[in-house]
Amino acid sequence: MTTPTPRVIVPSAAAKGEIFQVKTIISHEMETGLRHDDQGNVIPRKIINKFVCRYNETVVFSVDLHEAISANPFFEFSLRATESGRLDFVWEEDGGAVYMLSHQFTVG
Amino acid sequence: MSLTRRDVLIAGSAGFAGVALFSPPSARANDEALDLVEQLIGRKATMSDRLHLIMPADFPTGYTVPMSLYIDSPMTEADHVRQMRVFAPRNPLIEVASFHFVPQRSLPRVSTRIRLAKPQHVVAVAEMNDGVLLMTTTWVRVATDGCA
């Protein structure tokens, strides 16, 4: 499996109070734990189980993912521009690995 | 009988009778979904037209079925949705995802892609800040098993 690579599409600026859209995706197989290999052994579950979006350290949107989220999990959601600062995007994988992206955001 | 897009639109605008044309009888499905939600969450939900679960009625692959979910809510401290959960009752593992929203910071809407093992009523449940559970279901037919 290749290293999961997160990507985010988000504007870099917005007016105060404006609603802006965020699109996120991470390349990930989302192995469900329901599949077998050619020896009949179960391929262990390995999924992204949590996604969190923080806006200046405050959680503003999060998702608990289960096996039925498709491979390369994609989310599109909408936030309100409140102040300039940093958006952090965090994906947590079974086994404890964490993948992150940060994005500077200006409110004018 | 073959249905064109126009037929579907006309049927849709004709209301419930039109819906019944291309989805199985939904009264029983709703009862099943209500029972399921009560088993899973431990409280009764009520069907609500404030909650919208938008999915294709027919989709060729069960691996990546598009799903949009939103609810009409002012998202104030006094009146907001805490989380929305999605279940696929005919999947081998029925929980799909829980989406958490924050009043005044996020809009109560999200889009993603999910796996479906077979044609089924997908269920969405919204938990409001006062603990009320609102629910809706959407019929989706997939041609291939997305969980194999």
List beta partners, residue B122. B138
CB A85 within 8 A of CB A56: yes
pLDDT surpassing 50 at residue A35 = yes
Quick check: is B20 in a domain?
A: no
Q: How many domains are contained in chain B?
A: 1
Quick check: is B3 in a domain?
A: no
| B43-100 tens-digit pLDDT | 999 999 999 999 999 999 999 999 999 999 999 999 999 999 999 999 999 999 999 9
Dist. CA A18–CA A36, nearest whole Å: 48
**B46-47 and B58-59 as β-strands: parallel, antiparallel, unpaired?**
unpaired
CB atoms within 10 A of CB B93: 16
Chain A contact present for B4, CB below 8 A = no
Q: A74, B98: Cβ pair inside 8 Å? A: no
3-state DSSP percent of chain B in helix, strand and coil, to 5? 20, 40, 40
Dist. CA A21–CA A32, nearest whole Å: 29
| DSSP character string of A30-91 | -B-S--B-TTSPBPPPB-EEEEEEEETTEEEEEEEE-TTBPSS-EEEEEEE--SSEEEEEEE
| A44-94 tens-digit pLDDT | 999 999 999 999 999 999 999 999 999 999 999 999 999 999 999 999 999
CATH code where residue B92 lies: 2.60.40.2470
Instruction: Give the residue-averaged pLDDT of B98-125.
Output: 97
Dist. CA B77–CA B81, nearest whole Å: 10
Paired tokens of B108: 């109560």
Q: Which of A42, A70, A76 to mutate to test the interface with B (most CBs of B within 10 A)?
A: A70
Instruction: Give the residue-averaged pLDDT of B110-116.
Output: 98
Q: Which residue has the higher pLDDT, B24 or A93?
A: A93
Output the pLDDT for position B5: 56
Instruction: Give the residue-averaged pLDDT of B99-111.
Output: 97
B 52-81 residues inside an 8 A Cβ radius of A: 63-65
Residue type, B76: T
Q: Is the ipTM of this complex over 0.85?
A: yes
Instruction: Give the residue-averaged pLDDT of A1-6.
Output: 86
Q: B115, A70: Cβ pair inside 8 Å? A: yes
Residue type, B104: Q
Paired tokens of A99: 């993948």
Q: A63, B104: Cβ pair inside 8 Å? A: no
pLDDT surpassing 50 at residue B18 = no
Domain of residue B121, residue span: 25-142
Quick check: is B77 in a domain?
A: yes
Residue A32 CA to chain centroid, in angstroms? Answer: 18
List beta partners, residue B52. B70
Please give the residue of chain B at the shortest CA–CA distance from A74: B112
Confirm whether pTM is higher than 0.80.
yes
Output the pLDDT for position B17: 44
Task: Say which residues have a Cβ less than 8 Å from residue B7's Cβ, sequence separation at least 6.
Answer: none
CB B84 within 8 A of CB B109: no
Chain B contact present for A47, CB below 8 A = no
Under the banding of pLDDT at 50, 70 and 90, the label for residue B28 is: confident
Task: Say which residues have a Cβ less than 8 Å from residue B9's Cβ, sequence separation at least 6.
Answer: none
Domains of chain A as residue ranges with CATH: 6-107 (2.60.40.10)
With H, G, I as helix, E, B as strand and everything else as coil, classify residue B89: coil
Quick check: is B10 in a domain?
A: no
